[in-house]
Amino acid sequence: MDVNENILKILRKKDLTEYVVATSVTDTDQIRFSADSKDLFNHWSETSAAIFISRGKKIFSTTISNVNKPEIEIEKALSILTTLPENSNYMGISNSKHSYDDLRKFKKIDANIDDMASTVLHSALDSGSDRAAGLVYNEFSTVYLDTQINEVEYSEGGLHVLVRSFVGEGTGQESTHLGFDSRRSTKNLEKMGSQATETARLGSKFSEGKPGKYDVLMSPYLVGNLMSYGSSLFSAYSVDAGMSCFDSKIGQKVASDMVNLIDDPRNFSGDAAVQVDEEATPTQRLTMIQDGVLKTYLHSTSTARKFGAETTGNAGIISPHPWQLNLLPGKEKFDDMLHEMKHGLFIKNAWYTRFQDYRNGIFSTVPRDGIFTVENGEITGSIRGIRISDSIPGILMHIEGISKEQMNVKWWQEIHSSFMPYVLARNLTISKSF
């Protein structure tokens, strides 16, 4: 790639086993709003290069700002590489030549984010919200990626609209996310604020929750949060490090029969769609759990060689990760799942998920933005002060319902962009503050 040429000229002369140069050129806009007006407009215009080099099992990574005059930083990186010990776990990057014939080109989404922020803010305020907060993002990056044998250019980004509404001490949150090829529209913005306000209104009259075992109907946001935090457990790196509850579980049942989980990076309706991984391997639709059985870990070339497997196109060269999880829809309607619930909770979102035991997947998370009691199929009230204090394997095994409906969810660092349905899990442990 021309953008990388000044870097590549140096690297080609340096007797390296492998190299990867990924230069991102970013053009992103954001508006933040709170209370009754806009807080700040932000614009990013940025170029930076992430460079990986290896000589045998010696590896080094560097990130630099000045891609046009990279000599000082590159020479520093090369001199450090020479002095490093070997990484015995490192098994190399992909040596397959790719043509990228099916690569799709995209442009930044054409959107007036100022108007969109106004629409969603007023939707919340006009529907009775005490105040609202949120943001609109229009993200776009072009990535120029070169390895010793491959070169590829692709785009990343999407449009995100988020609003959180406040009524008394009740809160509700809604969002919309558009990938480059999304068929969804932004017409629902006029309803987003009012939907968030309705959830907040329902939550404004609450009682203290009680600890115990509950059937929990989880919204796509909550499912997305748990899957986002649990996703690292599927990485071959975590397994190899001894930090995954899925260690030695390939081919074994790790979830209820109705669970089918895939990584879906080629779904361009989502804003986390990625066409190649960080070592230029084309990404793929990857089945991770099929009918409750663990099919694969997430691999780069290096971890795959160590595990005697094939790369799954999920590099991170050292630490593979999912791109865009998709918990496939089930057979039930959400309304039916709710109406068939005798006694339980309907929880819409959570945050601050933290693990006390990665090896067994034991964690707790703090529900927010809609925590409702359900009796005989009806929402009967709102509670607060509770946690889900359980484990990822425990929840996966106790899933007894998955909805037909699915949402593209994403929220801050708490939910990675993903496609999630409503999920019913039985007998989860709920704790509370005393």
Partner 1 sequence: MPGELCEKLLDAAEKRSRYAEVRFMELEGSGAAYRNGSFEGAAYSRSYGYSVRVLNNSLAMSFSNSEDFSDLSSALDIAVRRSMLPGKSQIATKSEGKKEWVVSGSKKVDNVSLEDKISMLKDNDSLMDSLGSRVRMNYLADRKVKQVFMNSEGSEIRGEFTRVSYFYFAGILESGEFEQSTGEFGSTGGYEYFDSLDLPRHISDDIRAIRNAMHAGRLSPGKMDVVIGPEISGIVAHESAGHPTEYDRIVGREGALAGESFLTGKKVPMKIGSEAVSVIDDPSMKGSYGFYVYDDEGIRSRKRYLYRKGYTDEFIHNRESAARQGVEPNGGGRSSSWNMEPLPRMSTTYIEPGDHTFEELLEGIKEGIYIKNFTEWNIDDIRFNEKYVGKEAYRISNGKIAEQVRRPVIETNTIKFYSAIDAVAREMEFFAGECGKGDPEQAVDVWMGGPHARLRGLYIQ
Query: Is residue 242 at the binding interface for partner 1, with CB under 8 A as the rule?
Result: yes
- What is the footprint of partner 1 within residues 120-139 (CB under 8 A)? 131-135
Kindly indicate which of the ranges 81-89, 226-234, 374-382, 393-401 contains the residues binding partner 1, using the contact rule CB under 8 A.
Answer: 81-89
**Tokens 């999407």 sit at which residue?**
158
Query: Is residue 76 at the binding interface for partner 1, with CB under 8 A as the rule?
Result: yes
Q: CB 219 → partner 1: shortest distance, Å?
A: 17
Phi, psi for 208 (deg, rounded to 5): -75, 135
284 within 8 A of 312, measured Cβ to Cβ: yes
- What is the footprint of partner 1 within residues 169-228 (CB under 8 A)? 173
CA-CA-CA-CA dihedral for 302, 306, 311, 314, to nearest 10: -60
Pick the binder of partner 1 from 12, 210, 331, 359 (CB under 8 A).
359
Residue with Cβ nearer partner 1 (98 or 384): 384
Return the H-helix or E-strand segment holding 396.
helix 392-397
370 within 8 A of 389, measured Cβ to Cβ: no
Kindly indicate which of the ranges 100-108, 146-154, 307-315, 359-367 contains the residues binding partner 1, using the contact rule CB under 8 A.
Answer: 359-367
Report the candidate in 224, 229, 238 with the shortest Cα–Cα distance to residue 362: 229
Kindly indicate which of the ranges 99-107, 149-157, 222-230, 362-370 contains the residues binding partner 1, using the contact rule CB under 8 A.
Answer: 362-370
- What is the footprint of partner 1 within residues 409-428 (CB under 8 A)? 412-413
Contacts of 185 (CB under 8 A, 6+ apart): none
d(CA 58, CA 75): 16
d(CA 151, CA 41): 35
Structure tokens at 274: 């990625």
Query: Is residue 119 at the binding interface for partner 1, with CB under 8 A as the rule?
Result: no
Residue with Cβ nearer partner 1 (62 or 287): 62
92 within 8 A of 164, measured Cβ to Cβ: no
Pick the binder of partner 1 from 144, 206, 221, 363 (CB under 8 A).
363
Q: CB 369 → partner 1: shortest distance, Å?
A: 9
Query: Is residue 343 at the binding interface for partner 1, with CB under 8 A as the rule?
Result: no
Kindly indicate which of the ranges 1-9, 69-77, 227-235, 256-264 contains the residues binding partner 1, using the contact rule CB under 8 A.
Answer: 69-77
Q: CB 25 → partner 1: shortest distance, Å?
A: 11
**Tokens 């037909």 sit at which residue?**
404
Residue with Cβ nearer partner 1 (35 or 149): 35
Contacts of 134 (CB under 8 A, 6+ apart): 32, 33, 34, 117, 120, 121, 161, 162, 163, 164
**Contact letters for partner 1, residues 9-48 (x by CB under 8 A):** ---------------------x-x-xx-xxxxxxxxxxxx
**Tokens 């993002």 sit at which residue?**
137
Q: CB 29 → partner 1: shortest distance, Å?
A: 8
**Tokens 């066409």 sit at which residue?**
275
Please classify residue 4 by burial: count the beta carbons closer than 10 Å to its beta carbon, then call 0-12 exposed, 13-18 middle and 19+ buried.
buried
Pick the binder of partner 1 from 84, 107, 128, 333 (CB under 8 A).
84
Distances (CA, A) of 16 to 51, 150, 273: 13, 15, 31
Q: How far is CA 328 from the centre of its chain?
A: 16
Residue with Cβ nearer partner 1 (252 or 412): 412
Pairing outcome for strands 386-391 and 415-432: antiparallel
Residue with Cβ nearer partner 1 (33 or 334): 33
Pick the binder of partner 1 from 91, 318, 328, 379 (CB under 8 A).
318
Query: Is residue 85 at the binding interface for partner 1, with CB under 8 A as the rule?
Result: yes
Residue with Cβ nearer partner 1 (66 or 96): 66
> Which region, left, alpha or beta, applies to residue 203 given φ > 0 means left and ψ of -120 to 50 means alpha?
alpha
Number of residues interacting with partner 1: please give it, by CB under 8 A: 76
Pick the binder of partner 1 from 17, 62, 287, 429 (CB under 8 A).
62
d(CA 208, CA 383): 5
Query: Is residue 77 at the binding interface for partner 1, with CB under 8 A as the rule?
Result: yes
Query: Is residue 73 at the binding interface for partner 1, with CB under 8 A as the rule?
Result: yes
Q: CB 412 → partner 1: shortest distance, Å?
A: 5
Q: CB 63 → partner 1: shortest distance, Å?
A: 4
- What is the footprint of partner 1 within residues 375-404 (CB under 8 A)? 384-385, 387
Pick the binder of partner 1 from 13, 88, 183, 342 (CB under 8 A).
88
Query: Is residue 250 at the binding interface for partner 1, with CB under 8 A as the rule?
Result: no
